[in-house]
Structure 1
């Protein structure tokens, strides 16, 4: 199960969602699909892939690859954690 790390600040700028970990000082921007995934947390990778498949009519392989890319980027910036 993926979940948001404590201390993450979120700013909604309508066309993007901007995240910042209070201890890192680095901002990270999410587009529409990234926002959808972020707002679905906490969730499993499979649940997130299914959400992308349903919402954006992606095939399962593409949805899984997209979820993986977002999760890796968010985890690298300490914005999410597995728990």
Structure 2
């Protein structure tokens, strides 16, 4: 399960969503597909890929690759983190 990190501020500029980690002061801009993923959090990676595929008509493989790339970049910038939700 992927979740938003604490202390992340977001600003909607219409054509992009800008994220800023309040503790680090670093900004990151999301396009429309990135916004879809961000606004669906918290969610498992497969759910996010299904959402992206159905929203943009992508193949499952392409959606999975795109979601993974975005989540890894967001995690590198400490904007999201993966949590274990097993009982």
Aligned to 1:52: 52
Instruction: Report whether the alignment pairs 1:68 with 2:73.
Output: no
Runs of 4+ residues over 4 Å off in structure 1 = none
Alpha-carbon shift at residue 9 of structure 1 (Å): 0.5
SS in 1 for 2:73: helix
Partner residue, 1:7: 7
Q: Which runs of 5+ in 2 are unaligned?
A: none
**Number of aligned positions between the proteins:** 83
CA distance in 1, matches of 2:29, 2:72: 14
Give me the whole-angstrom Cα distance separating, in 2, the residues matched to 1:20 and 1:72: 16
| Contiguous gaps of at least 5 residues in structure 1 | none
The CA RMSD over aligned residues, in Å, is 0.4
TM-score, normalised on structure 2? 0.94
Describe the SS at the equivalent of 1:72.
Answer: helix
Instruction: Give me the TM-score of the superposition, normalised by structure 1.
Output: 0.98
Question: Helix, strand or coil: the match of 2:10?
Answer: strand
Q: Distance in 2 between matches of 1:33 and 1:65?
A: 13
